[in-house]
């Protein structure tokens, strides 16, 4: 069979992800593999529609397609996202009815969102999605995971040969032809807190531009608006990890990205991201903004900021996008909320935008930060474990930050001793019985003390 591998890594042949696919190829010599380096050639596909059509013909002539990519900031790299946009616009039909599987490498941070995004994309392209496989960056070094790779591909081939199918998971995307007509707010919000709106709005994004205008009209002093289209960004994240030691990007002094990002970090108290949905995510340009912020590696560089989102498009139908954006709210970063134009009611959208503006100011002035939920806590635990381990040997800037801020995984000797003692005592029937009998009262004993102390304040 002829298998097309769409490689999403900017490192092309030197990609960690691609080495795993090469391993598969070695063990299945009866099948022909053709590699297409999407990230490396994205400019070619953007500039020359004929090149895109030639690739489309290769897809049509193949028996199966493997999407292979590293996970960048909760989903695919910006160049891969741009490729998906081009395919959706210009050669959507070339992918129809082709069997497909998805393979990624990462440290398993938000890889579930990346795979949901890709499955939804495959379904949008009317491909015959079979399965996914998510590997750690170094899984290829383990014999068990090597077998995992072989089984994954064998199952893919079986699906093609036997015409196996899986049900669709995601509802089709809906068009939103509504035109939003905002009204300027009469009662202005006054605050000394600094608000910056970051957008990728084009002249054709009427609703998004109107939402930005309505939000700006909420303030006596209009917030600063920065359009990503106006920035000097030379290229995408290269995956080179040169930033690992001192948070200095390979593009340092070559473009204006880092100056812009540091300006936002220093100046903004409240950041509003305003973007239009393109397919299953924001635009490739917005993804580029997120990817290039990896110059700060795994450090939560927006700590102390309040983030809100204004989205043009049917956000409630696009949960992979919402989940992706929520993943950035960790490390003392506060989510204000989301506003979209999907209600198709201008007055309702006006009220939602005002509420977003007012809540952001209240949160910032009160220094109110919601504690991390599962997303934040599990993210920090994953990074803390990785940075305390081998990852911290390379990402030394991360290690210094996590150690300085007490974020590295650690358990005190007192906690270890307490845990060991309790495990020993719980192994004794009489003690265990007494604990179980009084467990409910014990669980709220500390809380009762807090409530009792309030009576003394009356």
Query: In the CATH scheme, what is the code of domain 195-366?
Result: 3.40.50.360
Q: Could you tell me if 68 and 21 are in contact, meaning their C-beta atoms sit under 8 angstroms apart?
A: yes
Residue 437 has pLDDT above 90, yes or no: no
Residue 458 has pLDDT above 60, yes or no: no
Of 69-78, 111-120, 135-144, the one with minimum mean pLDDT is 135-144
* Class of residue 23 by CB neighbours under 10 A (exposed 0-12, middle 13-18, buried 19+): middle
Of 180-184, 283-287, 367-371, 452-456, the one with minimum mean pLDDT is 452-456
What does the pLDDT read at residue 67?
98
Q: Could you tell me if 34 and 66 are in contact, meaning their C-beta atoms sit under 8 angstroms apart?
A: no
Q: How confident is the model at residue 429 (pLDDT cuts 50, 70, 90)?
A: confident
Residue 110 has pLDDT above 70, yes or no: yes
H-helix or E-strand spanning residue 274: strand 270-276
Q: Could you tell me if 325 and 308 are in contact, meaning their C-beta atoms sit under 8 angstroms apart?
A: no
What does the pLDDT read at residue 421?
84
Q: Where are the domains of the chain?
A: 2-162, 195-366, 374-404, 413-451
Residue 350 has pLDDT above 90, yes or no: yes
Q: 354-411 pLDDT, tens per residue?
A: 999 999 999 999 999 998 888 888 888 898 888 888 788 888 899 899 889 888 877 6
Q: 55-107 pLDDT, tens per residue?
A: 999 999 999 999 999 999 999 999 999 999 999 999 889 999 999 999 999 99
Query: What is the CB-side half-sphere exposure of residue 130 using CA atoms within 13 A?
Result: 25
* Class of residue 113 by CB neighbours under 10 A (exposed 0-12, middle 13-18, buried 19+): buried
Torsion angle of C-alpha atoms 7, 8, 11, 16, degrees rounded to 10? -70
What does the pLDDT read at residue 193?
97
- Alpha-carbon gap, residue 205 to 210, rounded angstroms: 9
Residue 177 backbone class (left: φ over 0; alpha: ψ -120 to 50; beta: rest): alpha
Q: Could you tell me if 67 and 6 are in contact, meaning their C-beta atoms sit under 8 angstroms apart?
A: yes
Q: Which residue has the tokens 């690739």?
A: 55
Q: What is the mean pLDDT of the chain?
A: 92
Q: 186-231 pLDDT, tens per residue?
A: 889 999 999 999 999 999 999 999 999 999 999 999 999 999 999 9
The reply to whether 195-366 shares the fold of 2-162 is: yes
Q: How confident is the model at residue 456 (pLDDT cuts 50, 70, 90)?
A: low
Q: Could you tell me if 6 and 36 are in contact, meaning their C-beta atoms sit under 8 angstroms apart?
A: yes
CATH of region 2-162, choose from 3.30.70.260, 3.40.640.10, 3.40.50.360, 3.30.465.10:
3.40.50.360
Average pLDDT over residues 35-54: 93
């Amino acid at each position: 069979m002829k298998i097309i591998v769409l490689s999403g890594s900017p490192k092309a042949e030197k990609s960690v992800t691609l080495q795993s696919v090469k391993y598969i190829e070695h063990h299945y010599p009866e099948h022909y593999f053709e590699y297409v380096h999407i990230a490396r050639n994205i400019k070619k596909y953007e500039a020359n529609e004929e090149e895109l059509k030639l690739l489309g013909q290769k897809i049509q002539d193949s028996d199966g397609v493997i999407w292979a990519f590293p996970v960048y900031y909760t989903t695919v790299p910006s160049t891969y996202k741009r490729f998906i946009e081009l395919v959706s616009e210009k050669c959507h039909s070339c992918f129809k009815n082709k069997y497909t599987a998805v393979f990624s490498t990462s440290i398993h941070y938000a890889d579930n969102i990346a795979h949901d995004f890709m499955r939804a994309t495959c379904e949008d392209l009317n491909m015959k999605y079979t399965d996914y496989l998510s590997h750690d960056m170094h899984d290829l070094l383990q014999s068990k995971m090597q077998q995992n790779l072989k089984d994954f591909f064998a199952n893919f081939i079986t699906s093609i040969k036997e015409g196996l199918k899986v049900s669709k998971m995601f509802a089709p995307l809906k068009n939103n032809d509504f035109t939003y007509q905002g009204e300027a707010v009469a009662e202005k919000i006054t605050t000394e807190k600094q608000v910056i709106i970051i957008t990728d709005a084009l002249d054709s994004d009427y609703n998004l531009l109107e939402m930005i205008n309505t939000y700006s009209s909420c303030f006596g002093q209009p917030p600063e608006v920065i359009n990503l289209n106006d920035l000097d960004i030379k290229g995408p994240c290269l995956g080179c990890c040169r930033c690992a030691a001192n948070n200095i990007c390979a593009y340092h002094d070559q473009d204006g990205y880092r100056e812009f990002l540091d300006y936002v970090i220093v100046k903004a108290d409240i950041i509003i991201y305003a973007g239009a949905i393109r397919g299953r995510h924001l635009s490739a340009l917005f993804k580029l903004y997120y990817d290039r912020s990896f110059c700060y590696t795994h450090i939560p560089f927006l700590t102390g900021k309040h983030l809100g989102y204004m989205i043009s498009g049917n956000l409630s139908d696009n949960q992979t996008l919402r989940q992706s954006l929520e993943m950035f709210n960790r490390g003392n970063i506060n989510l204000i909320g989301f506003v979209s134009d999907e209600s198709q009611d201008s007055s309702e959208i006006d009220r939602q935008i005002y509420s977003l503006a007012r809540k952001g100011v209240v949160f910032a002035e009160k220094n109110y930060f919601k504690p991390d939920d599962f997303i934040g806590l599990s993210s920090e635990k994953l990074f803390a474990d990785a940075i305390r381990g081998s990852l911290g040997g390379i990402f030394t800037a991360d290690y210094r930050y996590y150690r300085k801020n007490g974020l590295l995984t650690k358990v005190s000797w007192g906690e270890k001793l307490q845990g060991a003692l309790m495990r020993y005592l719980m192994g004794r029937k009489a003690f265990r019985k007494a604990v179980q009998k009084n467990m409910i009262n014990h669980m709220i004993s500390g809380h009762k003390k807090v409530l009792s102390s309030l009576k003394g304040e009356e």
